[in-house]
Amino acid sequence: MGEWFERVLDAVDIETFFACKDEKEGRVLAMQLMKGFGLKDADIVFIEHEGPGARVRARGYIHRAGDRYGWLEGGTDDE
Amino acid sequence: MSKKAKVLLAPLDPVHDIGLKIIKRSLDEAGYQTILLPPDYSSEEILKVAMEEKVRAILVSRTLGYGVAELLARFVDMAEAVGIRENVKLAIGGMSIRPELAQELGYDAGFGPGTKPEEVIAFLENRKYEPEIRGAGKIKRDITKGFDYAYSNKNIEKMLDHIVTSIVGWGQNKTTPGIKRAEVRKGLLELPQGKDRTHLLQEYLRWCDAKVKEFYLEGTVLPKTRLLSKEELRKLERYVEETNKRMTLQVIQHSREKPVVFIQYGTGCPFMDIAHIKAGEAWGADGVVHFDPSWGARTEGFLEGYITHEEDGSIITPENLMGIKSSLSPHTIWQVRAHRGLNTPETVLLAGAMGADLTKINIAYGSLGGGTDPARLTMDAMQAIRYAVEYGLPFDVVTNEELCGVPAYKAFAGMLITAHLGLRLGGRPILQPLFCYSPEVMVSGDMDDNYVDFNAAKIMALRSIIRAPIWPGAPIGFLTQTEDRVQSSLSTALHGALAASLGVEAISIASSDEAYSGGPIAVPSRIDTLKALQEAFRFFGLSSIAPTENAQVWAERLEKGIEEVLETVAERGDFVAALYEGLLGSVAEGAYPGRSGRKTVMML
Q: B166 and B74 share a domain?
A: no
pLDDT tens digits, B322-331: 999 999 999 9
Residue B329 half-sphere exposure toward CB, CA atoms < 13 A: 33
| Structural domain span for residue A52 | 3-67
**Residue contact A21–B523, C-beta within 8 A:** no
To which H or E segment does residue B236 belong? helix B230-246
- DSSP state letter for B357: S
Greater pLDDT, B23 or B332: B332
Q: Are residues B426 and B467 in the same domain?
A: yes
Is A79 contained in some domain? no
Least confident of B77-81, B446-450, B483-487: B77-81
Length of chain B: 604
Average pLDDT over residues A62-79: 79
Model ipTM value: 0.92
Tell me which H or E stretch contains B559.
helix B550-572
Q: Is the pLDDT of residue A77 over 60?
A: no
Does residue B363 fall inside a structural domain? yes
The answer to the question of residue B204 being in a domain is no
How far is residue B502's CA from residue B18's CA, in Å, rounded to a whole number?
A: 34
- Closest by Cβ to A17, choosing from B239, B244, B524: B524
Q: Which residue in the set B239, B244, B279 is minimally distant from A17, CB to CB?
A: B279
Q: Looking at the domain assignment, is residue A48 inside a domain?
A: yes
User: Could you give the CA distance from residue B174 to residue B89 in angstroms, rounded to a whole number?
Assistant: 81
Residue B518, burial from CB neighbour count under 10 angstroms (0-12, 13-18, 19+): exposed
What pLDDT sits at residue B118? 84
pLDDT in tens, B493-510: 999 999 999 999 999 999
The confidence score (pLDDT) of residue B464 equals 98
- The predicted pLDDT at position B1 comes to 67
Q: What is the pLDDT of residue B134?
A: 54
Q: Are residues B263 and B411 in the same domain?
A: yes
Count of the separate structural domains present in chain A: 1
Residue B180 lies in a domain: no
Closest CA to B332 of B324, B343, B320: B324
Q: In Å, how far is B269's CA from the nearest CA of chain A?
A: 17
The amino acid that residue B499 corresponds to is A
What distance in Å separates residue B436's CA from the closest CA in chain A?
29
Counting beta carbons within 10 angstroms of the beta carbon of residue B193, is it exposed (0 to 12), middle (13 to 18) or buried (19 or more)? exposed
- Is B39 a domain residue? yes
Reference B34, options B25, B44, B47, B42; nearest CA is B25
**Of the candidates B424, B431, B430, B468, the residue with the CA atom closest to the CA atom of residue B165:** B424
CATH for B329: 3.20.20.440
Instruction: Kindly tell me if the per-residue pLDDT of B305 is higher than 90.
Output: yes
Answer whether residue A78 shows pLDDT above 60: no
Chain B residues with beta carbon closer than 8 angstroms to that of A16: 524
Q: Kindly report the CA angle at B377 between B374 and B378, in degrees rounded to 5?
A: 80
Q: Which residues of B touch A23 (CB under 8 A)?
A: none
Q: Does residue B476 have a pLDDT over 60? A: yes
Which residues in chain A have Cβ-Cβ distances shorter than 8 Å to B279? 17, 50, 52-53
Q: What is the DSSP string of B112-177?
A: -TT--HHHHHHHHTT-------TTTT-----TTTT----BS-HHHHHHHHHHHHHHHHHHTTEE-H
Q: In terms of domains, do B506 and B568 share one?
A: yes
My answer on whether B395 and B317 are in the same domain is yes
The verdict on B158 and B91 lying in the same domain is no
pLDDT tens figures, B501-555: 999 999 999 999 999 999 899 999 999 999 999 999 999 999 999 999 999 999 9
Would you state the pLDDT for residue A79?
Answer: 46
Phi/psi at B428 (nearest 5 deg)?
-125, 85
Residue A50, Cβ density class (10 Å: 0-12 exposed, 13-18 middle, ≥19 buried) = buried
Instruction: Write out pLDDT tens, residues B347-363.
Output: 999 999 999 999 999 99
CB B13 within 8 Å of CB B39: yes
Q: Is residue B282 part of a domain?
A: yes
B507 within some domain? yes
pLDDT tens digits, one per residue of B39-71: 888 889 999 999 999 999 999 988 767 778 888
Question: How many angstroms separate the Cα of B474 from the Cα of each of B365, B507, B510, B544?
Answer: 13, 8, 8, 22
Q: Do B282 and A21 touch (CB under 8 A)?
A: no
The residue that leads in pLDDT, B122 or B583, is B583
Domain annotation covers residue B596: no
Max distance between CA atoms of chain B, in angstroms, equals 97
Which chain B residues are closer than 8 Å to A52 by Cβ? Answer: 243, 246-247, 275, 278-279, 282
Whether B49 and B167 map to the same domain: the answer is no
pLDDT digit string, tens, across residues B65-122:
777 888 888 999 999 999 998 889 999 988 778 888 888 889 999 888 778 788 888 8
pLDDT of B132: 58
> What is the domain extent for residue B267?
154-173+256-589
Residue A26 lies in a domain: yes
Residues in chain A: 79
How would you classify the pairing of strands B395-398 and B429-432?
Answer: parallel
Burial of A40 (0-12, 13-18, 19+ CB in 10 A): exposed
Instruction: Please tell me the predicted confidence (pLDDT) of residue B475.
Output: 95
pLDDT tens for residues B375-418? 999 999 999 999 999 999 999 999 999 999 999 999 999 999 99
Taking only the tens place, the pLDDT of each residue in B226-277 is 999 999 999 999 999 999 999 988 999 999 999 999 999 999 999 999 999 9
- The answer to whether residue B214 sits within a structural domain is no
- B283 — contact with chain A (CB < 8 Å)? yes
CATH number of the domain to which B82 belongs: 3.40.50.280
Is A32 contained in some domain?
yes
Of B357, B272, B365, B363, the closest CA to residue B323 belongs to: B272
What is the 3 state secondary structure string of B486-554?
HHHHHHHHHHHHHHHHHCCCEEEECCCCCCCCCCCCCHHHHHHHHHHHHHHHHHHCCCCCCCCCHHHHH
CB atoms within 10 A of CB B486: 11
**Alpha helix stretches (DSSP H) within B372-452:** 374-390, 401-404, 408-424, 439-444
**For residues B283 and B263, is the Cβ–Cβ distance under 8 A?**
no
Picking from B374, B364, B376, B446, the residue whose alpha carbon sits closest to that of residue B402 is: B364
User: The domain that contains A49 carries what CATH number?
Assistant: 3.30.30.60
Triad B366, B584, B390: Cα angle to 5° = 45
Please, which contacts does B43-51 make with residues 24 or more away whose CB atoms are closer than 8 Å? B43/B12, B43/B71, B43/B74, B43/B75, B43/B78, B44/B78, B46/B8, B46/B10, B46/B12, B46/B75, B47/B75, B47/B78, B47/B79, B47/B82, B47/B84, B49/B8, B49/B10, B50/B8, B50/B79, B50/B84, B50/B88, B51/B82, B51/B84
How open is the CA angle B345-B348-B350, to the nearest 5 degrees? 105
Tell me, what's the pLDDT at A76? 52
- pLDDT given at position B117: 83
Same domain, B17 and B160: no
B245: which residues sit within 8 A by CB, 6+ positions away? none
**Residue B328: other Cβ atoms inside 10 A:** 21
Side chain identity at residue B381, one-letter code = A
* Averaged confidence pLDDT in chain B: 93
Dihedral over alpha carbons A37, A42, A48, A53 (to 10 degrees): 30
> A50 and B244: CB-CB below 8 Å?
no
Residue B26 and residue B166 share a domain: no
Among B64, B267, B283, which would you mutate to test the A interface (most chain A Cβ atoms within 10 Å of its Cβ)?
Answer: B283
From A15, A21, A50, residue closest to B282, measured CB to CB: A50
Gap between the Cα atoms of B509 and B521, Å rounded: 13
**Domains: count for chain B:** 2
Give how far A71 is from chain B: nearest CA, Å. Answer: 25
Give every CB contact of residue B476 below 8 A, 6+ residues apart in sequence: B435, B436, B492, B495, B496, B499, B507, B508, B509, B510
